[in-house]
């Protein structure tokens, strides 16, 4: 299974909501029983089926409705002079019965709407998952793990992108960030991933891949009122064992080697889509790389996250703390960074993508079983 679906499961209403009408019935009955004859509170039991309609199905709501009518009838027999809100006892009993019927009808309508909404949500979720890469734990001789979180509420996909592909020219990887949020960003993200998938098969160098992506955004911008752009980091694991990268306005990656964390220093080309405005062209840089080293890349949603005092998230220091001693499995590393980021920042307003890669010699490393991509559904509010 290429995705960790734990964070995507729909949350059902809390179980305790289904039982709220029960104490309401009891409290209403006790209050009416203890109240003087001049104060009629029988109508309060009608609140139970209305509350049940919010969290229960029509059958459970009907059960609460029958109980409310039965209690109201018993109270009427006990105190036939009750006036309630100015109605006779018989009329008040009819009001409770009518409210119970309305509650059942409301629960039926809500249940049908929920089912339809779930079907639409399932389709939307399937479409979003189709856009994301189906990343396995190993691509060629590269171990990989990723985490993806959209800034949009209840969304899976946002404007960030990543993928790792095995090609005739070696393993190629990308992580990037499209301008903006919402449907436009998702559309651009999908277009760039499609162009990346074609380019890594057709051209041998990362610079040529970057030029293909630049051309794709340039063509798309010709049909838009406003120019769109995207940052991207391209990585290539060469057949001779080397690793090279091309930075197009993106955050340089980190290399974790022997317990030491260092940020790669390199000149960046302009973001994709803005190449015509800036003369700097993409340039490939070869990394000092050893088998077993971990390459960690992220989008700016990580580095721009702030704590309650306005301080930015110190990713380099956190990576060093998380990799003290032996480097952890990559899936555990990406999850650890995300969980630490959640504790650090009370609110994260941008999409977040994390990508960890490690090259190893054949037979020298065993990949931890599990999924390669962990998906976190977007939230409107955090702590």
Q: Give pLDDT tens digits for 198-220.
A: 999 999 999 999 999 999 988 88
CATH code at position 315: 3.60.40.10
Task: Read off the pLDDT of residues 277-287 as tens digits, 9 standing for 90 and up.
Answer: 777 788 899 98
Average pLDDT over residues 190-197: 90
Q: What is the band of 265 on the pLDDT scale with cuts at 50, 70, 90? A: confident
First to last CA, the chain: 31
Please report whether residue 382 resides in a domain.
no
Residues 101 and 180 in one domain: no
Strand partners, 348: none
Please report whether residue 362 resides in a domain.
yes
Q: Are 272 and 220 in contact (CB under 8 A)?
A: no
Contacts of 64 (CB under 8 A, 6+ apart): 21, 22, 25, 48, 49, 51, 52, 56, 100, 103
**DSSP conformation letters of 249-282:** BSPPPEEEETTEEEEPP-PPBPPBT-TTT--PPP
Residues 165 and 92 in one domain: no
Residues 112 and 149 in one domain: no
Residue with tokens 């190993």: 138
Residue 338: domain span: 135-376
Residues 119 and 139 in one domain: no
Residues 266 and 342 in one domain: yes
Task: Read off the pLDDT of residues 55-89 as tens digits, 9 standing for 90 and up.
Answer: 888 999 999 999 888 888 877 776 554 544 444 55
Percent of the chain with pLDDT over 90: 26
Residues 120 and 142 in one domain: no
| Biggest CA-to-CA distance, the chain | 95
Distance between CA 145 and CA 301 in Å, rounded? 18
Phi-psi region of 123 (alpha: psi -120 to 50; beta: other; left: phi over 0): alpha
Residues 104 and 186 in one domain: no
Please report whether residue 296 resides in a domain.
yes
Contacts of 192 (CB under 8 A, 6+ apart): 161, 176, 178, 213, 216, 217, 230, 232, 272
Residues 98 and 191 in one domain: no
Own/partner contacts of 276-280, CB < 8 Å, gap of 24 or more, are 276/218
Q: Is the pLDDT of residue 182 over 90?
A: no
Helices 182-202/206-221 angle, 10° precision: 140
Q: What is the band of 354 on the pLDDT scale with cuts at 50, 70, 90? A: very high
Task: Read off the pLDDT of residues 364-383 as tens digits, 9 standing for 90 and up.
Answer: 445 444 456 776 766 544 44
Residue 105 corresponds to which tokens in the numbers above?
A: 């009808």
Query: What pLDDT does 85 receive?
Result: 42
Helices 89-131/47-55 angle, 10° precision: 10
Query: What pLDDT does 380 receive?
Result: 42
Residues 140 and 112 in one domain: no
Distance between CA 302 and CA 4 in Å, rounded? 20
Please report whether residue 234 resides in a domain.
yes
Query: What pLDDT does 5 receive?
Result: 45
Q: Is 351 helix (H, G, I), strand (E, B) or coil?
A: coil
Residue ending a domain, choose from 126, 145, 160: 126
Residue 186 corresponds to which tokens in the numbers above?
A: 């998702």
Query: What pLDDT does 31 receive?
Result: 78
Please report whether residue 341 resides in a domain.
yes
Distance between CA 121 and CA 104 in Å, rounded? 25
DSSP conformation class of 152: S
Q: Where are the alpha helices (DSSP H) in the chain?
A: 21-34, 47-55, 58-78, 89-131, 182-202, 206-221, 300-303, 315-322, 330-344
Phi-psi region of 24 (alpha: psi -120 to 50; beta: other; left: phi over 0): alpha
Residue ending a domain, choose from 126, 159, 194: 126
Which of residues 253 and 93 earns the better pLDDT score? 253
Percent of the chain with pLDDT over 70: 81
Average pLDDT, the chain: 81
Distance between CA 247 and CA 264 in Å, rounded? 11
Residues 46 and 187 in one domain: no
pTM for the whole structure = 0.73
Residues 357 and 286 in one domain: yes
Q: How many domains does the chain have?
A: 2
Please report whether residue 381 resides in a domain.
no
Query: What pLDDT does 277 receive?
Result: 75
Residues 338 and 195 in one domain: yes
Q: What is the band of 12 on the pLDDT scale with cuts at 50, 70, 90? A: low
Q: Is the pLDDT of residue 135 over 80?
A: no
Residue ending a domain, choose from 72, 104, 126: 126
């Amino acid at each position: 299974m290429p995705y960790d679906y734990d964070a995507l499961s729909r949350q059902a209403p809390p179980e305790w909501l289904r039982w709220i009408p029960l104490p309401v019935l009891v409290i209403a009955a006790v209050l009416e029983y203890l109240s003087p004859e001049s104060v009629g509170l029988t109508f309060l039991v009608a609140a139970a089926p209305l509350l049940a309609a919010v969290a229960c199905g029509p059958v459970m709501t009907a059960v609460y409705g029958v109980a409310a009518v039965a209690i109201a009838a018993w109270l009427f027999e006990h105190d036939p002079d009750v006036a309630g809100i100015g109605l006779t006892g018989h009329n008040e009993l009819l009001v409770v019965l009518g409210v119970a019927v309305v509650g059942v009808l409301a629960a039926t309508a809500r249940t049908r709407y929920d089912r339809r909404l779930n079907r639409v949500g399932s389709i939307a979720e399937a479409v979003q998952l189709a856009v994301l890469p189906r990343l396995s734990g190993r691509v060629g001789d590269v171990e990989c793990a990723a985490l993806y979180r959209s800034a949009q509420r209840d969304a899976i996909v946002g404007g960030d992108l990543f993928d790792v592909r095995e090609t005739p020219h070696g393993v190629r990887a990308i992580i990037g960030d499209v301008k903006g949020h919402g449907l436009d960003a998702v559309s651009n993200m999908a277009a760039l991933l499609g162009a990346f998938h074609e380019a890594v098969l057709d051209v041998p160098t990362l610079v040529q891949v970057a030029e293909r992506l630049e051309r794709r955004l340039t063509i798309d911008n010709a049909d838009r009122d406003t120019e769109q752009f995207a940052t991207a980091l391209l990585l290539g694991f060469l057949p001779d064992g080397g690793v090279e990268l091309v930075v197009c306005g993106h955050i340089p990656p980190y290399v974790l080697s022997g317990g030491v964390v260092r940020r790669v220093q390199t000149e960046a080309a302009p973001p994709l889509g803005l190449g015509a405005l800036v003369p700097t062209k993409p340039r490939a840089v070869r990394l000092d790389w050893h088998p077993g080293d971990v390459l960690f890349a992220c989008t700016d949603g990580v580095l721009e996250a702030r704590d309650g005092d306005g301080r930015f998230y110190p990713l380099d220091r956190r990576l060093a703390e998380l990799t003290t001693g032996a480097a952890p499995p990559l899936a555990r590393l990406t999850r650890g960074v995300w969980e630490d980021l959640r504790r650090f920042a009370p609110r994260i307003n941008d999409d977040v993508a994390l990508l960890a890669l490690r090259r190893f010699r054949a037979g020298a490393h065993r990949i931890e079983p599990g999924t390669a991509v962990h998906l976190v559904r977007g939230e409107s509010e955090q702590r």
